[in-house]
Amino acid sequence: MNDLLNQFWWGNPVSRWLLALGVSLVVLVALWPIKRYILNRLHRVAESTDTAIDNLVVETLQATKLLFVVFVAIWAGSRVLTMPELLFATWTKATIIVAILQVGIWASTALVGWLRILRDKKAKQGEALTWLAGVEWAGKFVIWTAVLLIGLENIGVDVTGLVTGLGIGGIAVALAAQNILGDLFSAFAIYIDRPFVIGDYLKIGDQMGTVETIGMKTTRLRSLTGEQLVFGNSDLVSSRIQNFGRLNERRANFTVGVTYDTPKDKVEKIPAMIQEIVEVQEQVRFDRSHFKEFGDSALIFETIYFVLAPQFQVKMDIQQAINLELMRRFAAEGIEFAFPTQTIYLENGGMSGS
């Protein structure tokens, strides 16, 4: 038995080969159950929390491949052997390449998981981030390009020329697609700065509409008349946007005119009457009401108030209620609304009205 163990195979005694096999098996048997144990513990922790980060960690670790663990185990066992330098270097490079591929899988899985979490979160808020598909594609391209370059460099390939070529090609592509890239980066800016979200009512120049989608290249609004308005993201970022969806309150004003023959005591009552009518409305903050001016054919009163809700529909409902109550109160008080009239004086002292 000792003679067999002392026999040399490929520069190492059989006993050393058996030791290397034992180390590899121990590492393999230890790593895989440890991985499963850690994942099970993390999974239970993730289920007990409301955060998505721990779920993402579990999903990323679950992407660990058996091939990676096998290579690590064999590499650990090979450390007890006396191997030719070239063979040892070759095996080490192979293990490093497998490790690099595993890191690429982890990074790609983490990216996809993070984007899915972000997409689901925004979907619950009524937002559809369609540009995330482009981000996923670009992210995977960057990850696997880096994996390829690092892997080639570790097997001894000079990647300087390849990196230079990719750089020149990237510049050429960027110049050819600068408008598309501008819209893509603008989509990032819109997401990070959040000047508006889906459902906001915007005014951009002389165009107005409700935001329907925020895409990778364009943002689309639905106008009040029904047509869809499409804006490039870069145009939106550089435009002056009025976001009515962020209103906390709306300023409203109206004027009303009464006839010149209205008695002075009733004219004095009108501002207080209007204030009373406005203040009884819900979601309203009264500001002022004044006898503003002598018009061509009427005594003009101006009233300003604030609607404590952003919806335009609410503002119009309140104004309608105020107008109807004004008609009722003026009729009860014998106050007449003015309408355009003209009085013509004739040379003989007579006059006529129209």
Residue 166 inside a domain? The answer is no
Tens digit of pLDDT at every position of the chain (354 positions):
445 445 555 555 656 666 767 777 777 767 767 777 676 776 676 666 666 777 777 778 778 787 887 777 777 777 666 666 666 677 778 888 888 888 888 888 888 888 887 777 766 666 656 666 767 777 888 888 888 878 777 777 666 665 666 565 555 555 444 566 667 777 777 777 788 888 888 888 888 888 888 877 888 899 888 899 999 888 888 888 888 877 788 889 999 999 999 999 999 999 999 999 999 999 999 999 999 999 988 999 999 999 988 777 889 999 999 999 999 999 999 999 988 766 666 666 554 555
Residue 349 inside a domain? The answer is no
Domain identity same for 54 and 108: yes
Domain identity same for 70 and 196: no
Domain identity same for 235 and 270: no
Would you say 229 and 221 are in contact if contact means Cβ atoms under 8 Å apart?
A: yes
- How many Å separate Cα 144 from the centre of its chain? 26
Beta bridge partners of 69: none
Nearest CA among 159, 133, 284 for reference residue 213: 133
Nearest CA among 195, 194, 228 for reference residue 210: 228
Domain identity same for 261 and 239: no
**CA 29 to CA 313: how far, in whole Å?**
69
pLDDT recorded at residue 293? 93
| Number of domains within the chain | 3
Domain identity same for 230 and 261: no
Nearest CA among 307, 211, 299 for reference residue 250: 307
Residue 340 inside a domain? The answer is no
In the β-sheet with 228-232, what is the strand arrangement from edge to edge? 228-232, 218-222, 207-214, 201-204, 241-243
pLDDT recorded at residue 176? 46
| 76 CB-contact burial (10 Å; exposed 0-12 / middle 13-18 / buried 19+) | middle
Q: Which residues contact 113 (CB under 8 A, 6 or more apart)?
A: 55, 56, 59, 60
Domain identity same for 194 and 307: no
Domain identity same for 207 and 107: no
Q: Which residues contact 40 (CB under 8 A, 6 or more apart)?
A: none
What stretch of H or E contains 343?
Answer: strand 343-345
Domain identity same for 20 and 153: yes
Domain identity same for 192 and 277: no
Owning domain of residue 217: 183-246
CA distances from 6 to 2, 11, 16, 82, 163 (A): 6, 11, 9, 14, 51
Type of residue found at 85: E
Domain identity same for 153 and 42: yes
Residues composing the chain = 354
Domain identity same for 151 and 7: yes
pTM of the model: 0.47
Nearest CA among 143, 79, 84 for reference residue 112: 143
**CA 116 to CA 136: how far, in whole Å?**
10
Nearest CA among 344, 343, 339, 353 for reference residue 295: 339
